[in-house]
């Protein structure tokens, strides 16, 4: 057996293998015997028909096809071992170059190579956002609005009113093939002045158009959508609006007292505000850390060297697509419907949305795996047990759990969950270590530890000197 290997640009290896004709003939004989075992050949017991009989009945092509399959199963692992190639996964037979002599070309994906470079030199300040009193007040007002009663009024719209408006909107200069109609007799309910900074539909500033209008009153106006509008088809476009007020209600909000606190599930105003603050702190921390670690990992990736085969990215794309489809099913949509509703082409959507997301996720995972080894990251067994128990309870509540039970044994599910939980803890602890490095916490801890050691050594030295002085005095 002879082989040649050639490194490809996409982190794969091309291996060309040439088999000795004598060896191939032996495999043809074995193939013929295996064919005769599974076939009923008159006059012969299974596996006992001579080679020439099998060839006359099934043809040499069938024997060679079976021989090639058996030969590859035996030769491929030997070639991988002899060549010193470290594969990421199974290679594939790319081409049968010739059958006489037998010559094959394989493409083998290589295991990823990750060089994280000077990741310890990257600095990024970590400073959690503070939850202000005004943030808590904001949520309290939301709760008051949720529990408010409403009364129809016969007056002009004021701040805080619950208004129902009917909207018609058309593009002034639509593109070729673009429908001018945006909204037709579309009802929309809005609390005027409520979180005006967060207003989106149909555009920021729409609320101001309503102030002072009365029931059944209409108004016409134009609006040019911003170039970065969330509505892609309307970016930079001018639209003509016609609105009609169909209902005006005044909201009567409950007073902030003990009764209100009990309505929202707490026993006092103080505990209600504390609970809100705790939830806001958790939410802001998660939002901040997601952005912080995303930017930190991007910085590390930018100065790192990563090489991985196409198969790894393809697998990640499949996983991201699967997760995306699972998420949109909660909106009672499948992928094709989602693309149709958003006027997107599947190929373009996969290339511009799914693939970049998959690439980023893959590269961040490779970086974290490498750094976890560099930093010798581990986890506490008690923490593993606690996280496993929590995850198992959540898993059992999942509607798909029964399907999983049919596919795996209880032990199989448990083993997979332990592995998943352990990986999540390694992931979390690696991120914590990166934060400590980037924020300078690790340097401070190391300096404090060194100072303590120096102090301990000085104390030990002083005690030793005192001991020597005492001994010297005794000798005198």
DSSP string, 423-442: HHHHHHHHHHHHHHHHTTHH
Average pLDDT, integer, range 82-90: 90
The pair of structure tokens assigned to 54 is: 């099998």
Question: What average pLDDT does range 351-378 have in this prediction?
Answer: 96
Largest Cα separation within the chain, whole Å, is 115
Over residues 164-189, the mean pLDDT reads 93
What is the average pLDDT score of the chain?
87
What six digits make up the tokens of 87?
A: 């594969």
Domain 149-252 belongs in CATH node 3.10.50.30:
yes
Q: Does residue 233 come out as left (phi exceeding 0), alpha (psi in the -120 to 50 range) or beta?
A: alpha
Q: What local confidence, expressed as pLDDT, does residue 342 receive?
A: 82
CB atoms under 10 Å from CB of 110, counted, come to 22
**Cα–Cα distance, 29 to 171 (Å, whole number):** 76
Domains of the chain, by residue range, sit at 2-111, 112-148+264-305, 149-252
**b/e map 245-282, b = 16+ CB within 10 Å:** bebbbebeebebeeebbeeeebeeeeebbebbbeebee
Q: Does domain 2-111 have CATH number 3.40.630.40?
A: no
Residue 405: pLDDT above 80? no
Give the mean pLDDT of 417-424.
86
Express each pLDDT in 96-113 by its tens digit.
888 777 888 999 999 999
Cβ atoms of 210 and 190 within 8 Å: the answer is yes
Of 279, 247, 251, the closest CA to residue 265 belongs to 279
Residue that is written with structure tokens 């399907």 in the block: 403
- C-beta of residue 312 within 8 angstroms of C-beta of residue 90: no
The residue among 371, 375, 351, 352 whose CA lies nearest residue 363 is 371
Which of the four pLDDT bands, split at 50, 70 and 90, describes residue 71?
Answer: confident
The pLDDT of residue 476: 40
Of residues 37 and 351, the one with the higher pLDDT is 351
Tokens of 239: 């639209």
Q: For position 396, what pLDDT does the model report?
A: 72
In the three-class reduction of DSSP (H, G, I as helix; E, B as strand; rest coil), residue 255 is classed as coil
Q: How far is CA 462 from CA 455, 457, 459, 465, in A?
A: 10, 9, 5, 5
In this predicted structure, the answer to whether residue 316 has a pLDDT above a threshold of 70 is: yes
pLDDT value of position 385:
84
The confidence score (pLDDT) of residue 475 equals 47
Per-residue pLDDT for 243 more than 60? yes
Let me know if 108 is exposed, middle or buried by CB neighbors in 10 A (0-12, 13-18, 19+): buried
Query: SS3 for 246?
Result: strand
Q: How far apart are CA 272 and CA 65, in angstroms?
A: 75
Q: What are phi and psi of 92, to 5 degrees?
A: -135, 145
* Residue 186 DSSP SS3: strand
């Amino acid at each position: 057996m002879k082989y040649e290997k050639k490194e490809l640009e996409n982190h794969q290896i091309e291996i060309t293998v040439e088999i000795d004709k004598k060896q191939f003939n032996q495999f043809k004989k074995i193939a013929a015997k295996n064919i005769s075992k599974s076939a009923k050949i008159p006059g012969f017991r299974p596996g006992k028909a001579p080679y020439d009989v099998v060839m006359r009945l099934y043809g040499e092509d069938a024997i060679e096809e079976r021989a090639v399959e058996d030969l590859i199963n035996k030769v491929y692992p030997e070639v991988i071992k002899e060549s010193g190639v470290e594969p990421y996964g199974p290679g594939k037979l790319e081409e049968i170059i010739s059958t006489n002599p037998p010559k094959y070309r394989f493409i083998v994906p290589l295991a990823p190579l990750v060089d994280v470079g000077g990741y310890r030199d990257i600095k990024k300040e970590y400073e959690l956002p503070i939850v202000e009193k005004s943030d808590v007040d904001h949520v309290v007002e939301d709760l008051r609005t949720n529990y408010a009663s409403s009364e129809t009024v016969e007056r002009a719209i004021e701040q805080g009113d619950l208004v129902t408006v009917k909207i018609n909107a058309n593009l002034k200069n639509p593109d070729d093939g673009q429908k001018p109609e945006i909204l037709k007799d579309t009802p929309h309910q809005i609390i005027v002045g409520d979180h005006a900074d967060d207003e989106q539909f149909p555009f920021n500033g729409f609320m101001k158009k309503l102030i002072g209008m009365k029931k059944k009153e209409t108004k016409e106006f134009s609006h040019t959508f911003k170039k970065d509008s969330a509505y892609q088809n309307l970016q930079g476009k001018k639209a003509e609006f016609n609105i009609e007020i169909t209902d005006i209600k005044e909201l009567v909000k409950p007073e902030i007292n003990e009764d209100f606190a009990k309505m929202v599930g707490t026993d006092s105003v103080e505990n209600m505000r504390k609970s809100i603050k705790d939830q806001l702190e958790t939410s802001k921390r998660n939002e901040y850390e997601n952005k912080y670690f995303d930017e930190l990992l991007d910085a590390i990736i930018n100065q790192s060297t990563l090489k991985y085969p196409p198969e790894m990215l393809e697998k990640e794309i499949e996983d991201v697509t699967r997760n995306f489809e699972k998420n949109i099913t909660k909106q009672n949509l499948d992928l094709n419907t989602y693309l149709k509703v958003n006027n997107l082409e599947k190929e373009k959507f996969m290339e511009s949305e799914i693939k970049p997301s998959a690439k980023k996720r893959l590269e961040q995972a490779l970086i974290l795996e490498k750094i976890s080894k560099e930093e010798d990251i581990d986890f506490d067994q008690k923490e593993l047990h606690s996280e496993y128990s929590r995850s198992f309870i959540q898993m059992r509540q999942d509607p798909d759990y029964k399907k999983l039970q049919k596919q795996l044994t209880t032990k199989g599910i448990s083993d997979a969950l332990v592995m998943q939980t352990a990986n999540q803890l390694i992931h979390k602890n690696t991120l914590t270590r990166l934060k400590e490095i980037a924020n300078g916490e690790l340097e401070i801890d190391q300096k404090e530890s060194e100072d303590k050691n120096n102090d301990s050594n000085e104390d030990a030295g002083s005690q030793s000197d005192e001991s020597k002085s005492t001994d010297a005095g005794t000798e005198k």
